[in-house]
A and B are shown apart, each in its own frame.
Chain A
Amino acid sequence: MRDKTMSADEAVSRLSSGMTLGIGGWGSRRKPMALVRGLLRSGITDLTVVSYGGPDVGMLAAAGRIRRLVTAFVTLDSIPLEPHYRAARERGAFALTEIDEAMFLWGLRAAANRLPFLPVRAGFGSDVMRVNPGLRTVTSPYEDGETFVAVPALRMDAALVHVNRADRSGNGQYLGPDPYFDDLFCAAADTAYVSCERIVDTAELTKEGPPQTLLVRRHTVTGVVETPNGAHFTSCAPDYGRDEAFQKTYATTPWPDFKAGYLGGDEQAYQAAVREGT
């Protein structure tokens, strides 16, 4: 098995401006924040970001790296509205493809299944159809004859996800209660970079959780990045919960100040600044 380990910066160096980038997790939960911080350190911009959005979207939007966002929501969970995302939307900073949560899931599944679309009973009657005039419909070829929205596949150039454990070849394990959609992101993308709290030997993977916690399969993974506390300040249960105090700091600090205070150096500098602040 190939050793796919690399640093966050190495993973980011394989990405480029203009890419369509999927980001795993959900809201302010298990977001690959160390990789997002790596992106912020790079000059990569003009991104199409596909995300069940949290502070990943807020930060990239605040930094002006997003050309288009594909999402159903952006939230910090315990803080319902993401302030930096809001501000960026209200100043018209990027284009938005707004789709329903289930349409998003069907789009991921279509991409993972190499299908151009999947039909879903969602969207009709709502303004999702108005704001996405490119959405097509499909009529059942069977007796019912019902019409559905044909959700286009959400195929991506690269996916970034964060899990609790991984081995060196990219088998990723989640130990929390929810897989979110991370395996689908990896399968729906041409390349995928998996950050993890800890890299362990393959034989160790089933010591902390049963086989069904082995969420991400190595054939869908390009690079593995060990980055402890790498989802900070989002949650990474059971390794740690959301850092609510820090999240509040993030949400209430003007972006230039937050950037200057926490994102001026590398990941180690970030983690040190977080420790000093608490």
Chain B
Amino acid sequence: MSGPTRAEYCVIACAEAWRGDGEVLASPMGLIPSIGARLARLTFAPDLLLTDGEALLVRPDGTPEGWLPYREHLAWVTGGRRHVMMGASQIDRYGNQNIACIGDWERPRRQLLGVRGAPVNTLNNPTSYWIPRHSRRVFVERVDMVCGVGYDRAAGARYHRIPRVVSDLGVFDFATTDHSMRLASLHPGVTVEQVRAATGFGLTVPDDVPPTREPTAEELRLIREVVDPAGARAREVGA
């Protein structure tokens, strides 16, 4: 078997977000987080609940084990037994996330999706982020509209937690004294300089940054033969 690709390191890094979560709903937005959630369920997080992205709770093979229409999903968020991995058009050093619009909200330069469920997600259940193309356009000093709430704005929010941010360059967390973003691991082949150059704010970089962990042979087999045999992951993150 050939060595892991960048996309496969990203899958592992996303999967790791759900490690130790127990019997909670994994809500991945985007392809690589979806592969990661299924991989986690098939390996080290067997109690995870998965959705088909529509109205069903499913096992990793897609067969239903429950019903989860949008109204129940929104209610489930507030119950907290869920860990979502959302996307971000912009994200800042404290984890404030924007998917609503670019520019002034009153008259946006680029209208995007809207706030969606980001405000309720971030105040009720752990919210991680997946960013397939790490750049200064995404990792910004200040987001134009706060949809997902970051640590500096979450004072008193008892259930607020952002476990990790995964990009195509590395994994980031908020394990600093002021809960600002820190480089937690680098995907193999990526340098600290590359990450700094692609990040629009001052990032905390520890003296020793570990590499993102290697997938095991069994994990690679599951990704390649069971979860994503068509290789769709390479379209989201190239080599």
Give A residues with C-beta under 8 Å from B: 26, 52-53, 71-75, 80-81, 85-86, 89-90, 92, 98-103, 105, 120-128, 130-131, 146, 176-181, 184
* Structural contact, B107 and A90, CB atoms closer than 8 A: yes
* Complex interface: chain A residues within 8 A of B217 (CB): none
Are A85's CB and B111's CB within 8 A?
yes
Contact of B116 among A101, A120, A179, A184 (CB under 8 A): A101
| Residues from chain B with Cβ under 8 Å of A179 in the complex | 69, 71
* Cα of A86 to Cα of B109 in the assembled complex, Å: 10
Establish whether residues A120 and B120, one from each chain, have CB atoms under 8 Å apart when the complex forms: yes
Q: Closest chain B residue to A123 by CB distance?
A: B119
State which of A26, A53, A124 has its C-beta within 8 Å of the C-beta of B157. Answer: A124
Decide if the interface of chain B is mainly helix, strand, loop or mixed.
loop
Report yes or no: B74 in contact with A105, Cβ–Cβ below 8 A: yes
> Apart from A89-B108, A131-B145, what are 15 other A-B pairs with CB-CB below 8 Å?
A74-B114, A90-B108, A101-B74, A101-B116, A103-B119, A105-B74, A121-B159, A122-B78, A124-B156, A126-B115, A128-B115, A131-B105, A146-B158, A180-B71, A181-B71
CB distance from A58 to the nearest CB of B (A): 11
Closest B residue to A177 using CB positions: B55
Residue B113 at the chain A interface, CB threshold 8 Å: yes
Instruction: State in angstroms the CA–CA spacing of A56 and B118 once bound together.
Output: 23
A-B interface, 6 closest residue pairs, ranked by CB to CB distance from nearest = A73-B114, A122-B120, A125-B149, A177-B55, A125-B153, A102-B120
State the interface size on chain B (CB cutoff 8 A): 46
**Contact partners of B75 in chain A: CB under 8 A:** 102, 105
Interface residues of chain B, those whose CB is within 8 Å of chain A, are: 54-56, 67, 69-71, 74-75, 77-78, 100-101, 105-120, 122-124, 145-150, 153-160
Q: Is the CB of B54 within 8 A of A178?
A: yes
Rounded to whole angstroms, the CA-CA distance of A131 and B75 in the bound complex is 24
- Asked whether A99 and B101 contact (CB < 8 A) given A124-B123, A180-B69, the answer is no
Which residues does chain A contribute within 8 Å of B159, judged by CB atoms? 121
CB contacts (< 8 Å) of A125 on chain B: these are 119, 122-123, 146, 149-150, 153-155, 157, 160
> Separation in Å of the B79 CB from the closest CB of chain A?
11
Contacts of A180 in B (CB 8 A): 69-71
Cα separation A99 to B78 with both chains bound (whole Å) = 16
Q: How far does the Cβ of B159 sit from chain A's closest Cβ, in whole Å?
A: 8
Interface centre among B77, B100, B108 (most CB of A within 10 A): B100
Q: How far is the CB of A26 from chain B (nearest CB, A)?
A: 6
A102: chain B residues within 8 A (beta carbon): 74-75, 77-78, 117, 119-120
A147 closest partner in B (C-beta): B156
15 contacts between A and B (CB under 8 A): A85-B111, A90-B109, A99-B115, A101-B74, A102-B78, A103-B119, A121-B120, A124-B156, A124-B157, A125-B146, A126-B115, A126-B118, A127-B105, A127-B146, A177-B56
A126 with B70, Cβ < 8 A, contacts A90-B109, A101-B120 known: no
Find chain A residues with CB under 8 A from B108 CB. Answer: 89-90
Pick the contact of A126: B110, B119, B156, B158 (CB < 8 A).
B119
Point out the residues of chain A lying under 8 angstroms from B70, CB to CB.
26, 52, 178, 180-181
Question: How many Å from the CB of B85 to the closest CB on chain A?
Answer: 17
CB-CB nearest in chain A for B160: A125
Q: Closest approach, in angstroms, between the C-beta of A99 and any C-beta of chain B?
A: 7
Report yes or no: A90 in contact with B117, Cβ–Cβ below 8 A: no
Which chain A residue has the least Cβ–Cβ distance from B144? A127
User: How distant is the Cα of A103 from the Cα of B147 in the complex, in angstroms?
Assistant: 13
Would A100 and B54 be within 8 Å (CB), given that A89-B101, A125-B123, A179-B71 are in contact? no
Q: Which residue in chain B gives the minimum CB-CB distance to A87?
A: B111
**How distant is the Cα of A17 from the Cα of B144 in the complex, in angstroms?**
34
Shortest distance from the beta carbon of A63 to any chain B beta carbon, whole Å: 17
